[in-house]
Structure 1
Amino acid sequence: MNKQPIEQALDADLRLSSAALLRAALRARELAMKTGTAIVVSRDGKLEYLTAEASPAETFHVQEPRGDSGDKV
């Protein structure tokens, strides 16, 4: 498994993927607030439904995957 930070990847698409995912999450939250729907997240293996009333600190948490990512050396 490559332990190098993703921000240092040689592939530009991979290097910029974290920022793209954060932008997509922000847009999903904005849309949910406008339409009054919940955001479904997985936290510790359980599904949770976050509403627009949830605090920004709670909704903007990024959960890192646990364990091996499956990459082979």
Structure 2
Amino acid sequence: MKTPNPIEQAINPDLRGSWPALLRAAQRARALAIQTGTTIVVCRNGVIEHIRPEPEPTSPQVREQQGSHPEKS
């Protein structure tokens, strides 16, 4: 059996762009689940799992900017 070519080499441009689109959709789903406090339902090895996504840690630069606001009196 012949090994299939990577999806990035597909002739169809829609198929070539499908993997990055799936990654963007997954990222948006995680962000929405974090905002709404809900879980993401996935099926791994035939087992349905409910995953609570963790917020991505902010970079030190962003934390410094957030903490540098002057105190209000």
- Give the TM bin, normalised by the shorter chain: 0.5 to 0.7
Unaligned 5+ segments in structure 1 are 56-73
Check whether the contact 2:34–2:55 (CA below 8 A) recurs between aligned residues: no
TM-score (norm 2): 0.67
> How does the TM-score come out when normalised to structure 1?
0.67
Specify the code of the residue in structure 1 equivalent to 2:51. L
**Structure 2 Cα separation of the partners of residues 23 and 2 of structure 1:** 27
Identity of matched residues, %: 55
Q: Greater relative contact order (Cα 8 A, min sep 6): structure 1 or 2?
A: 1
CA distance in 1, matches of 2:27, 2:54: 15
List, as ranges, runs of 4+ consecutive aligned residues in structure 1 with deviation greater than 4 Å.
none
Instruction: Give the length in aligned residue pairs.
Output: 55
Give structure 2 stretches of 5+ with no counterpart.
57-73
Please state how far the C-alpha of 1:26 moved relative to its aligned partner.
0.3
Higher helix fraction: Structure 1 or Structure 2? 2
Between structure 1 and structure 2, the one with the greater Rg is 2
**What's the offset of the Cα at 1:54?**
8.5
